[in-house]
Amino acid sequence: MHSATTQRPLMGFLVLLLCNLFMLNAVAQQLETSSGTKAVFLKGPALPIKDSADGNNEKNISIQGVGSVMAKYGKTNQLYSSMVDSLAKVLFRYPLVDSAGLTYSEEWVGTPNMGLRRPNFVIIHYTANNSCEQTLQEFTTPGGREASAHYVICKDGTVHHMLNDLLRSHHAGDSKWGNNTDLNSSSIGIELDNSGYLPFTEAQISSLTTLLDRLKAAYKIPDANFIGHADIAPARKVDPGSKFPWKELSGKGFGLWWDDTTNVQVPDNFDYLMGLRIIGYDISYPASAVAAFKRHFMGDNSNTMNAVVRKIIYVLYRKFE
Amino acid sequence: MKLFLKIIGVFISAAFVWSCSQSKYVATNKIYKKQVNEYAKLLREYPVKDSGGLLYAADWVGTTNLSMRRPNFVIIHHTAQNSCEQTLQTFTLSRTQVSAHYVICKNGTVHHILNDLLRAHHAGVSKWGNTTDLNSSSIGIELDNNGFESFSEAQMNSLVLLLDRLKKAYSIPASNFIGHGDIAPTRKNDPNWRFPWKQLSEKGFGNWYDDPMNVVLPPNFNHLQSLRIVGFDTKDTTAAIVGFKRHWLQDTTKGLNESQLKVLYKLSKKYQ
């Protein structure tokens, strides 16, 4: 922390430095256009300054000439990059050698065979808000509900990619699917702007399909692992609701669906709760699990159980065997 | 010119002495750091805006509510090699593309060879429940063991301390401490049948079944459903049964008799 008196000359120096950089950048760009050489040291987006603690960064930003992006969400965008920066630093830490009383080897050996943890599921939500703007505000409020998603898709099909796919967003909450109890760590969260009562727009579903296609290819996500928020938290959540076109999406390879059930004979001893558990549902509250299943696979908001529901559970569970 | 050569000579011999005093893993440790650097850069990249023909918003808005992806499972392996040294060599060769987060030697020494938050390549083609990318959601621990022998006390002590730390750090549920043979039953049998799963389950690492003595199996009991609920991939039923028996009955034979079915029944109750 700087005191008020030392802060001013420091700021002046920073501004001067940035001005110089800015001019150098212009020179470098000219060089690039004239001779084709690349000024690597000045390439890339003009990132906000990350490690200053004085909160006056927006002045520096305007000097760098990226003012338009910074209009409303300038401050929170800066917060984003400084948070990502400190998360990335965690990776640089050498494996700890002093914790838990373990006998660690004297010399540290690292492996070069590694990667970044990737998503294996896609969880679809609706925002239950009145506008995309309202959702953007919610997801840029630190210290509140601390909620977020990787993508927000507006009614007109506009996509907001709010978080790097490789980071963990806070969209699933307390949830379970099969034995997985940390869905945030293993999924991509997609929020659809929808109040919870209206059908989804064609533009929205068309953007969603394009996005799902990209995610599926990028992270090799299996068809079965495109699911809804209510599937993983049936006692708490209903989104994306009974109006979401799951059947249409399953036809494109996102999510599983049951086929024609006319000639299916359900074995007398078939236990439908075991079927639901195998599909992935948490059956701690059986009525909630049945309701979530019916909402997703039958577009029905009730939790009543009958032979038709049982048959559909049976057909679908066979696909998860 | 002579002086120049002399200086060069001194430099070369100094470099030689320096390199001898360094560990044999200096070069690969450098690769480690370089790779982590690349991945950190990847995280810092602003969300990509030009792919897939998506209608992206003109102004980028980043969220402020975020964290690192964490492990939710711990997968235990045996190395099937003759020494810890041999395993370290295997895991530091780029061409093998195999690794783990931890290697525990017979004397209890722990090698933490990869940051927990990164993805190690230990699971291979595998499945547990609906999860098909166990590498992304787990920590891999290799125990130095030739594949047939028992596990030493020192090794188990270190393992328990480590599991305790991991369980707390990442809130890993008791049921999610499993073996490589569980998630890849057609290909793998590690850790071998001598691994003390019951002892570990008493400490909160892995599930165990309640006394199956007085169980009356329900008429609609379906053992394949139960195996699938526990987490096994039941595409190859014989392999799933062998995997279950190795882990929960210390038995490497095929097939299930009445009393073994009762064990499976009791075990599956823990996963509902």
What's the alpha-carbon Rg for chain A, to the nearest Å?
A: 25
pLDDT, position B7: 64
B87 or A259: which leads in pLDDT: B87
The question of whether A191 is a catalytic residue gets the answer: yes
Question: Distance between CA atoms of A277 and A271, rounded to whole angstroms?
Answer: 10
Look-up of token digits 């640089």 = A92
Going from the C-alpha of B167 to that of each of A173, B160, B161, the distances in angstroms are 19, 10, 10
Q: Is the separation of the CB atoms in A47 and A93 below 8 Å? A: no
pLDDT at residue B12 in the model: 59
pLDDT in tens, A24-52: 333 333 333 333 322 222 222 323 222 22
Residue A106 has what pLDDT? Answer: 80
Contact assessment for residue A211 and residue A147, using Cβ atoms and an 8 Å cutoff: no
Q: Work out the number of other CB atoms within 10 angstroms of the CB of residue A51.
A: 7
Please work out, in degrees rounded to the nearest 5, the angle formed at the alpha carbon of residue B127 by the alpha carbons of B251 and B73.
85
**Average pLDDT of the segment spanning A58-63:** 30
Contact B70 A45 (CB under 8 A): no
Residue segments in chain B with a per-residue pLDDT below the cut of 50:
17, 20-21
Kindly state the average pLDDT of the residues A176-199.
Answer: 97
Annotated catalytic residue within B38, B45, B85, B142: B142
Tokens of B176: 């999610």
Q: pLDDT per residue over A272-295, tens digit each?
A: 999 999 999 999 999 999 999 999
Q: What are the chain B neighbours of A268 within 8 Å (beta carbons)?
A: 220
Would the CB atoms of B118 and A115 count as touching at under 8 Å?
yes
Residues of chain B contacting A170 with CB distance shorter than 8 Å? 65-67
Q: How many CB contacts within 8 angstroms connect chain A with chain B?
A: 324
Angle (CA) A277-A200-A221 rounded to 5° is 45
